[in-house]
Amino acid sequence: MRITGLALVPPPTAADLPKVTPELLASVLARYSRSNDGLAAILEKVDLANPDASIDRILKFVDYGHASIGGLTGGLAVALDGISMWLAYKLFEIAQMADGQESSTRYITMDASAVPSAEELGVPADLADRWRDLLARSFAAYQAEYARLDALAVAEPGRIRVPEGAKPAVVTRLRKNYALDRARYFIPLATRTNVGLVQTSRMWAQTVKTLDSLPHPEAREAARLIRDDLLKQSPRLMRHSFAEPSYEEQARQDLATSVRLGLARLSSEPLKDEVWVHVDRACPPFLQEEQPVSEALRHRSNRYGQQGSATRRMRVGFAWNNLALAELRDLNRHRTGNRYTPFIQAGFYLPPEIDRAAHASLLAEQRELTRELLRRGASAYVYSLLLGAQTPFEHTTHADKFIYEAELRTGMGAHFRYAEHLSAALRGFLDQVPEARDWVVEGTAEPE
């Protein structure tokens, strides 16, 4: 694991603008909110070459409950190299106000060298050899299925939805993606990936505090390394990034729930798709919604267009019983509202192009290792999961955000499986809000 903080510098075109550090920016804007002198007058009182006195004088408010000051630092960028896919998922779950990217499974190394050690992940020593063998077999299954599916796509090009007139390089890429996206369910969740996140010091402090409160050694080590790097840019605000009892207790309860549900539902069999959608249009009696849903939607030229109050005020909860971790990695990045999953293996998904019987031994071994780790209450059970593991997943947000997600995740280039999930959720939504049907664009995920 390697953590790198990225210090932003202004472009040459901004040479005449004031130069401020993240914490000086926060302190100046905090003072700005408590003054009518204007920004120029405030900056005149700050020694930009030696800003520490001004920063210390103002940022003391953070210790008295004014946490919003920490949000004035602007975006602090951090790159996390070589973390597990589980930790990447967890970062996006925690950092709901961050902008970020994670390496795609189409572009990262897929073999035993791409996994942290058992010691780094907290895998019990007496299970380490068994765990390493499982991961080696999983990577072998991935490689074998990728090669088979790629050859199948060459032999039967009709399987690939190639746009008319596509260049040979595009056809090759789409064929590769067809195979990669169907073989990926054998990828271990412990596989190393890379993540880049940009968020304010306030949100970094909360993210690091949460990581530091988890029982996973990898999460705590990441917290330490991120904190050490961000102390260079925001030393005062990162004081608030250490583990805290309420965070630790919630992490303990979350793990206990996952262990209980994981043992009760653990299975390697595929789960039949179920979707749940709940729409709440309730409004206060003194402020009823007056805009028709059609007027909230029909003026958009694409999914990025502004929606009206009729959908922005409408609450939507949606959930699937069997979201594979491969898809969870993508859908978990939608930042609005709240997402929840116990992160268990209630089933195991493989696409119809893969013969499940050919991998029965591997899936049985993986299931039993997960069972043993759950029996021990080990947080490291997550590292025995493969991306085909199916878990319940719930997202609660507002209708405008749901519509955007549904249109995006069924649109051009969407992964075939999460397009199926979002299409099902969209049908459930339109059953309850039929007046939106003419204005919501469900895509066909072509080409892949």
Q: How do residues 235-256 score in pLDDT, each as one tens digit?
A: 877 888 999 999 999 999 999 9
Quick check: 251 and 244 in contact, CB under 8 A?
no
Q: Are 97 and 70 in contact (CB under 8 A)?
A: no
Quick: pLDDT tens for 404-429.
999 999 988 788 899 999 999 999 99
Contacts of 9 (CB under 8 A, 6+ apart): none
Among the residue ranges 24-38, 61-75, 383-397, the one predicted with the least confidence is: 61-75
Q: With contact defined as beta carbons under 8 Å apart, do 382 and 329 qualify?
A: no
Q: What angle (nearest 5°) sits at the alpha carbon of residue 348, between those of residues 142 and 124?
A: 75
What's the confidence (pLDDT) of residue 151? Answer: 93
CA distance 22 to 133: 47
If one compares 282 and 43, the residue with the highest pLDDT of the two is 282
Please name which of 233, 245, 247 lies closest in space to residue 70, comparing C-alpha atoms.
Answer: 233
Rounded to two decimals, what is the model's pTM? 0.88
Percentage of the chain beyond pLDDT 90 is 60
pLDDT the model gives residue 189: 97
pLDDT of residue 63: 45
What pLDDT does 36 receive?
67
pLDDT of 70-79, one tens digit each?
A: 566 667 888 8
Return the number of other C-beta atoms located less than 10 Å from residue 157's C-beta.
Answer: 11
Q: Is the pLDDT of residue 352 over 50?
A: yes
pLDDT at 34 over 80: no
Place of tokens 């959908």: 311
**CATH of span 253-349+388-436:** 3.30.1360
What confidence score (pLDDT) does residue 245 get? 96
Contact 100, 197 (CB under 8 A): yes
- The Cβ of residue 375 has, within 10 Å, a number of other Cβ atoms equal to 12
Contacts of 235 (CB under 8 A, 6+ apart): 23
Q: Range(s) for CATH 3.30.1360 in the chain?
A: 253-349+388-436
pLDDT attached to residue 51: 65
Q: What is the pLDDT of residues 119-177, one digit of tens each?
A: 999 999 999 999 999 999 999 999 999 999 999 988 988 888 777 788 888 888 888 88
More confident residue, 402 or 66: 402
Beta bridge partners of 81: 2
Tens of pLDDT, residues 92-103: 999 888 888 888
Going by pLDDT thresholds of 50, 70 and 90, the confidence category of residue 118 is very high
Contact of 267 with 345, CB cutoff 8 Å: yes
Higher local confidence (pLDDT), 265 or 42 = 265
Q: Report in angstroms the alpha-carbon separations of 314 from 38, 78, 306.
A: 39, 35, 15
> In degrees to the nearest 10, what's the CA dihedral of 429, 430, 431, 434?
140
Q: In angstroms, what CA-CA distances link 16 with 19, 230, 240, 251?
A: 9, 27, 34, 48
Write down the mean pLDDT value for the chain: 89
Element spanning 339, H or E = strand 338-340
Predicted local confidence at residue 58, as pLDDT: 55
**Confidence bin at 35 (pLDDT 50/70/90):** low
**pLDDT tens digit string along 47-69?**
666 666 666 655 554 443 445 65
Q: Sign of dihedral through CA atoms 273, 274, 280, 281?
A: positive
Instruction: Give the mean model confidence (pLDDT) for residues 379-403.
Output: 97
How far apart (Å, rounded) are the C-alpha atoms in residues 297 and 306? 8
Cα distance between residue 376 and residue 373, in whole Å: 5
Structure confidence at residue 398 (pLDDT): 97
